[in-house]
Amino acid sequence: MKARDTMHEKALRVGVLGTGSMGQNHLRVLSSMFEYDLVGCFDVNQEICAQQAEKFGIKAFETQEELLSEVDVVHIVTPSFLHKECAVAAAKAGCHVLVEKPIALTCEDADVIIDACKAAGTKLCVGHVERYNPAVSTMLSIVSEEEIVSVTFERMSPPVTRIFDASVVEDLMIHDIDVLNALVDSPIKKIAAHGAKIYSDTLDYAQALITFENGIMASITASRATEAKIRTARVSAKKSYISVDYLGRTVDISRKTSFSLDIGYATQYAQENIVEKIMVPMNEPLRVEFLHFSDCIRNDKEPTTSGLMAKKALMMCHQIQELALVD
């Protein structure tokens, strides 16, 4: 627990910094959770902040400092370049911090955030929300029993009009990099990457091929210039093939079998493989993430998407981005 000694059985007082589209999702989910007492929000755009505060029956704070003084937990849903400033201020105020991905724009800033929360004795969780997608958590539990050969990720989105302060690698690909890091516990042997600037001054399309020291290969494609929304992962293992649709929340496993059916005359039926369709809970990933963080705060656990895991993903992002820009 943090220095303010929030009572174990009481709801955690929470505030949201940033009331843009993602911040509004945070407000929506938090407002319906009994684990949290949604106190208020702050945004430099006071008009939107006031609108959201009225919608959820909470306080629209006039300053960030005022909000931090009245909550136990703060969700930082600001532009990425503000993450360090906001997270450090929150930690110094004694608040547990959930910061949206990427944790920061540089690894140095990530270290500052991690160190600030450690010094303050507060928990730090980074919003790599796909790790809390039931389809992904189901996949991770399945592959823990498999011998992985390769992994393929595709994350495609149509063009949008919002202004980017991060490339498609930091904006979209980072989700799959984080999942990849959860799948493969091995140093990287080699990375190859290429990409293209299409609608912005930074990469809007990128592909990366990664080889790990243990022999596992990974292919990751991310696009915000594709007229379709795709979120998939495919895992090739020695004894199975696992296909995951993040959006449809489906997980299918193909396995080889030697099953045959002798029906008593010349024609026999043989089945070379079977497909298992796994039941996946239809839980909202944001809600699962927030429940996980509240449990970590109350029971002094390290969040699954910790600051160190987020920094690891960011480091790989930078490697991929540098190689793609050179291409």
Q: State the angle between helix axes of 134-143 and 174-183 in degrees (0 to 180), rounded to the nearest 10.
A: 30
Phi, psi of 46 (to 5 degrees): -65, -25
Of the candidates 41, 39, 37, 31, the residue with the CA atom closest to the CA atom of residue 61: 41
Q: Which residues pair with 232 in a beta bridge?
A: 154, 245
What is the pLDDT, as a whole number, of residue 182?
95
Angle among Cα 277, 283, 289 to the nearest 5 degrees reads 125
Phi, psi of 79 (to 5 degrees): -55, 150
What is the pLDDT, as a whole number, of residue 101?
93
What domains sit in the chain, N to C, each tagged with a CATH number?
A: 12-122 (3.40.50.720), 131-283+313-326 (3.30.360.10)
Q: Name 161's Cβ contacts closer than 8 Å, sequence gap at least 6.
A: none
Residue 242 · residue 232 · CB < 8 Å: no
How many Cβ atoms are within 10 Å of 159's Cβ, its own excluded? 13
Can you list the alpha helix ranges (DSSP code H) found in the chain? 21-30, 46-56, 64-68, 83-92, 107-120, 134-143, 168, 174-183, 285-299, 307-326
DSSP assignment of 185-214, as one string? Answer: -S-EEEEEEEEE-SSSSS-SEEEEEEEETT
**Which amino acid does the sequence have at 19?**
T
Distance of alpha carbon 193 from alpha carbon 206, whole angstroms:
7
Phi, psi of 165 (to 5 degrees): -110, 10
Distance of alpha carbon 169 from alpha carbon 205, whole angstroms:
8
What is the pLDDT, as a whole number, of residue 46?
96
Of the candidates 181, 116, 205, 199, the residue with the CA atom closest to the CA atom of residue 314: 181
Band of residue 3 on the pLDDT scale cut at 50, 70, 90: very low
How do beta strands 12-17 and 36-42 pair? parallel
Distance of alpha carbon 290 from alpha carbon 304, whole angstroms:
12
Share of residues in the chain with pLDDT > 90 (%): 80
Q: Name 317's Cβ contacts closer than 8 Å, sequence gap at least 6.
A: 102, 169, 170, 173, 174, 177
229-280 pLDDT, tens digit per residue, is 999 999 999 989 999 999 989 999 998 765 555 556 655 555 556 778 888 8
Length of the chain: 327
57-96 pLDDT, tens digit per residue, is 999 999 999 999 999 999 999 999 999 999 999 999 999 9
Lowest model confidence (mean pLDDT) among 34-38, 63-67, 92-96, 156-160: 156-160
3-state secondary structure of 225: coil
Q: Name 47's Cβ contacts closer than 8 Å, sequence gap at least 6.
A: none
Average pLDDT along the chain: 91
Lookup result for tokens 């790990």: 212
171-212 pLDDT, tens digit per residue, is 899 999 999 999 999 999 999 999 999 988 889 999 999 999
How many Cβ atoms are within 10 Å of 161's Cβ, its own excluded? 5
Band of residue 145 on the pLDDT scale cut at 50, 70, 90: confident
What is the pLDDT, as a whole number, of residue 5?
47
Of the candidates 15, 122, 11, the residue with the CA atom closest to the CA atom of residue 66: 15
**pTM, to two decimals:** 0.88
What is the pLDDT, as a whole number, of residue 2?
42
